[in-house]
Amino acid sequence: MRVKGGIVTKRKHKKVLAKTKGMRDMRSRSVKRAKEAILKSGSNAYIDRRRKKRDFRALWNIRISAAAKNFGLSYSKFIAGLKAEKIDLDRKILAEIASKNPAVFEKIAAKVTK
C-alpha cells in the first residue's frame, strides 16, 4: 500500500513560507521560489555579518582622523604616536572618546605630539 506524505509536506512548506512572509511577489507565495529566497537571504546575512565589522572599523578611523586633524595631526601620525608612547587604546574606544569627550582626546593628542 502506498503511503502519502501530504501532511508532512504541507508542514514543511508552511515553515518555508513563514520565513519569506514579508517578501514580494512569488518569493512569498511559491515554495520553490521561497526556498531560493531563503538560501540567498541567508547567504547575504552571513556576508554582511562580516562586512559590518569592516564598516565599523572604517567609521572609527574616519572619526579619529577628523579629531586628530583639529590638533594638526594626520591619522597615520596620530596612530604612530600612540604606538610610540605605548598608549594601548583600540580604535573603537578612541572614536568614542573623540566624539563624546573632546577634552580627554585633547590630552591624548598632546601626549602624542611630544
User: How does residue 38 score in pLDDT terms, banded at 50, 70 and 90?
Assistant: very high
Query: Residue 94: inside a domain, yes or no?
Result: yes
Query: Residue 1: inside a domain, yes or no?
Result: no
Query: Residue 70: inside a domain, yes or no?
Result: yes
Residue-number span of the structural domain to which 58 is assigned: 6-113
Residue 98 belongs to domain with CATH number = 1.10.1900.20
Query: Residue 64: inside a domain, yes or no?
Result: yes
Q: Which pLDDT score, from 0 to 100, does residue 6 have?
A: 84
**Portion of the chain with pLDDT greater than 90, in percent:** 89
Query: Residue 84: inside a domain, yes or no?
Result: yes
User: How does residue 1 score in pLDDT terms, banded at 50, 70 and 90?
Assistant: confident
User: How does residue 28 score in pLDDT terms, banded at 50, 70 and 90?
Assistant: very high
User: How does residue 53 score in pLDDT terms, banded at 50, 70 and 90?
Assistant: very high
**Portion of the chain with pLDDT greater than 70, in percent:** 100
**How many domains is the chain built from?**
1
- CA Rg value for the chain: 26
What is the three-class DSSP state of 66?
A: helix
